[in-house]
Amino acid sequence: MKTPRTPTSLVPIVAAIMALTLAGCTPSGQETTSPLPSTGAAPSTTDPNQPFDWGPMAVVPPPEGTDLALAEGVIRITDTCVVLNWTLGATLLYWPADRARWVPESNTIQFANSDGTFANVHNGARVAIGGSGDSVADGGLPGDEWVNSMSWIVPPDPACPLDQRWGVGYVEAN
């Protein structure tokens, strides 16, 4: 019996995919190394023996699904808040605990998209963010009431802009 062979027309494509995989990149240039712990599970945030630094991030428990409405703008990371500056103004971003990590050494956020891509977000980064949001102007709850209505791992700092907010579901950093 003959051994199956890869058609020669596929050899360059297979070689390119292997090279990108070994280099840790996708064709778009985003990293493919996971920001999640090697176990693939989010660190426990309720176990005092496993503290986790979320930095200035507002963090929610993992959602059951992901909305993908699009918001594009510039990330601003301060000591207390992570916001998106875009056409609607400064909007608080809140992150799912199972796919986002704060990296204090570089003051960046690493985010694992559900399609297997990863994004590293730093202050001043231009981003396209999928997710969903609401605001007081659109009939949403006032900021403090909204915070109290949510389930949080880390609630936003009260000094953050709370009247306009966006739950992150996908990140593409430019």
Interval 108-165: pLDDT, tens? 999 999 999 999 999 999 999 999 999 999 999 999 999 999 999 999 999 999 999 9
SS (H, E, C) the chain: CCCCCCCCCCHHHHHHHHHHHHHCECCCCCECCCCCCCCCCCCCCCCCCCCCCCCCCEEECCCCCCCCEEEEEEEEECCCCEEEEECCEEEEEEEECCCEEEECCCCEEEEECCCCCEEEEECCCEEEEEEEEEECCCCCCCHHHHHHHCCCCECCCCCCCCCEEEEEEEEEEC
Q: Do 85 and 78 touch, CB atoms closer than 8 A? A: no
pLDDT at residue 33, rounded to an integer: 38
**Cα 52 from Cα 38, distance rounded (Å):** 15
Q: Is the pLDDT of residue 23 over 70?
A: no
From 89, 86, 94, select the one nearest 70 (Cα to Cα).
86
The pLDDT assigned to 47 comes to 42
Q: Which of 14-28, 60-74, 90-104 has the highest mean pLDDT?
A: 90-104
Number of neighbouring beta carbons within 10 Å of residue 59: 22
Q: How confident is the model at residue 68 (pLDDT cuts 50, 70, 90)?
A: confident
pLDDT band at 78 (very low <50, low <70, confident <90, very high): very high
Averaged pLDDT, 72-77: 98
Q: CB-based burial of residue 92 (10 Å sphere; 0-12 exposed, 13-18 middle, 19+ buried)?
A: buried
What is the rounded average pLDDT of the residues 59-88? 91
pLDDT mean across residues, the chain: 78
pLDDT value at residue 45: 41
* Sign of the Cα pseudo-torsion (22, 25, 31, 34, in order): negative
| pTM listed for this prediction | 0.70
pLDDT interval class at 174 (50, 70, 90):
confident
Is the pLDDT confidence value at 91 over 50?
yes
Instruction: Let me know how long the chain is.
Output: 174
Contacts of 1 (CB under 8 A, 6+ apart): none
The pLDDT of 6-17, averaged and rounded, is 35
pLDDT of residue 132: 93
Domain boundaries 58-173, CATH class: mainly beta
